[in-house]
Amino acid sequence: MAKRKKRYWFILGILIFLAYVFAAAQPIPKETFLTARWLSSLESGIPVSLDTYSLDRNSGNPDLLIPFQLGGRYGYIADTGEFSINQIQKNYTSISENFWSEYEPFPTVLEINDTRGRKVMEINDPDGYPFFLDDKFFLIGKGQDTVYALDDNGNIKWVYEFPAPLTCIDAAAGFVLAGTLDGTIELIDSDGKQFIPPYEPGGSRLAVILGCAISKDASRLAIISGIDDQRFLLLEKTGDRYRVVYHEFLSGGYRRPVNVFFIENDSRIVFERENGMGIYDIASRSTVKIDLDSRITAYDKSGGGGLFYLITSPEPDRKNLVAIRYPDTIIMEAPFRSVSSFLERRGSRIFIGGDSGIVSLELREK
Amino acid sequence: MGSKKAVLIAGLFFTVLLNLPALDWPDPQGIILNNFGQNEDGKPALGMSFSSEGEIYASGSGEILFHSGSYASVSSASRLPSPLGVWTAIDHGDGIISVYSRMDEKNQIPVNPVNITTRNVLGYSGLSGWSNSSGFYFFLYDRKERRWINPLMIVNPRPDERPPVIHWVRLRNEEGRVFDPAVTRTLSQGLYTISVSASDTMMAANENPLAPFRIVCSLNGVESGSLNFETYSARDGSLMVYRNGLVPTKEIFTQFPGWEVGTIRFTRGQATLEVIVQDYAGLARNTVFRLQIE
């Protein structure tokens, strides 16, 4: 009898073991690692091959130009490590994927150029400073309360005078989203008309918009607003209206412009929050907080492949490259010495800048 | 009708005044370069620019609402270049926000602590943003009413002993022809737009010419146009100012360096056109034109 009982226990044990093996087992995750490709000096402008990487032009895309601002310089660097433009910043600059402009504080003329340095347009006696969003040209008026949309020839398409100074802006799919000092967001359509009535997130002791972002198809708006408590909000478009689908009070908060942007094909939103950052997952309608012990100085604004990169600054002359696997695992930290920093990513290629140069890394898995 | 309007405007003015906290100037020694309402190439100034060298003080007690210290490049967070340069906004309660901008970039003051008392140093005069000389740009914003307020209405008064000066008055008929009523004394009947160019100095004639506080036009003793530089607000993407009601500023600031003060319908006979320009201290100057209308 006791022998039979023992056998039953033995069989049950084997069954539990098998069930555990089949039900709980997970495949071994792929190992992700970075290989160095090249280093390009800001001073000499000449790329140097790193590791076993070949600087053969076929191994990089010469048409993939990355805008950079680093160590008092700005310009565009190609995927091959060669600079298309690399010049010392003497005045104010506005630079985007496709256009750039360097201008006087009190400009009498604005020259807009492309990534190869060819003049695209010239604007005489401008009423503000240029900026480029959604592959379009804009000016922000000298009082920081007026936006001018320009056509491809530099003529004014529309002017929108906001009811308060602007604290943030973003544009996508022909829409312009702007946040104001008095805590309101406005969404302007491609004709320069109000698309929805001004929206005040409210809910905080002091109203102010600290950051705003619009998804590529303009279906979602992300906002950081208010002081005591600061809030993260997500609005989604339903018909012609936007409604709040998620909000979260953030502990602490900032009184300065705050980074907020969509990543990974608009499936997640990254935002600054005190002592770290938040990543909101649109599918699961949830946020995670990632604790970081120092200020973030640069972000990977694409965030694809399940990974997100950023650079923190533990000390003014020390930086730390951090890789995060979604949802919230820091999988790598790589410290380096630099006062300034720069980070851009195009797919599996990562471009990291320090004071003297830019390094290209390739993200690989095995 | 005219006196009713005057009472209404005065009532509005005092209502605004009584509800606003008294504030001090950010730099009492700063020289005013231009002021609220000034016609800047066809657009209104919504604040006051100062030529200054030293500290910039908080106008009153309050709490730091916003500080932006990045200006030379487009900020990664705001995605905006910064014509306001290095700027700080203080919430004083009662809806009033004061903004100190175009401050020196190299001598920025940390935003901690966030609670500010009157005369706390917020930054230093300098060059950042849309500026070409050392100084700063100061403005007041009323978040309750969503409008910019003329600082001269609520900041402790500066000495002002000089009345404004009227430089010219022009009349434009419906065909677009412009007349100087000081020269052309005979006009055809019809609707005319009145433009006035005027400026104000406070203590000496060689000071920077500033915008006056109010311009009033009357025809045969009846007020027909009144432009007040008290507040500006934006509605549906257009900046508005009070001229016999809210009107877009682009209708007022068309004729640089003057302002379109209103429209007048002249009918046949004698007409007396009076233009009165007043500064914020209440000092006024007028000019009268006796016209023959045919």
Amino acid identity of residue B263, one-letter, is: T
In this complex, is the C-beta atom of A176 within 8 Å of any C-beta atom belonging to chain B? no
In this complex, is the C-beta atom of A160 within 8 Å of any C-beta atom belonging to chain B? yes
Per residue in B18-71, pLDDT (tens digit) is: 455 679 999 999 999 999 999 998 899 999 999 999 999 999 999 999 999 877
| Run of H or E residues at A175 | strand A175-180
Chain A closest CA to B238's CA: distance in Å? Answer: 5
Structure tokens at A202: 């409210």
Say how many CB pairs under 8 Å bridge A and B.
143
* Residue B127 to residue B105: CA distance in whole angstroms: 7
Per residue in A210-230, pLDDT (tens digit) is: 999 999 999 999 999 999 999
Per-residue model confidence (pLDDT) at position B192: 96
Quote the strand ranges of A203-285, DSSP E: 206-214, 220-227, 230-238, 241-250, 260-263, 268-273, 276-281
Strand partners, A235: A221, A244
Alpha-carbon distance values, A179 to A131, A248, A266 (Å): 16, 18, 20
Tell me which chain A residue has its CA closest to the CA of residue B41. A127
Tell me which chain B residue has its CA closest to the CA of residue A74. B73
Q: Which residues numbered 307-366 in A keep a CB inside 8 Å of some CB on B?
A: none
Q: Which residues contact B30 (CB under 8 A, 6 or more apart)?
A: B50, B51, B52, B125, B135, B136
Output DSSP code: residue A216: T
pTM over 0.80: yes
Chain B closest CA to A149's CA: distance in Å? Answer: 13
Q: Which residues numbered 65-104 in A keep a CB inside 8 Å of some CB on B?
A: 69, 74, 89, 91-95
Chain B closest CA to A50's CA: distance in Å? Answer: 30
Q: Which residue in A188, A324, A347 sits closest to A265, CA to CA?
A: A347
Q: What is the residue-wise DSSP string for B101-150?
A: EEE-STTPPP--S-EE-TT-EEEEBB--SS-SSSEEEEEEEETTTTEEE-
Per residue in A122-166, pLDDT (tens digit) is: 999 999 999 999 999 999 999 999 999 999 999 999 999 999 999
What 3-state DSSP class applies to A32? strand
Q: Which has more confidence, B186 or A25?
A: B186
Interface confidence: ipTM more than 0.85: yes
Cβ of A95 and B73 within 8 Å? yes
Per-residue model confidence (pLDDT) at position A24: 66
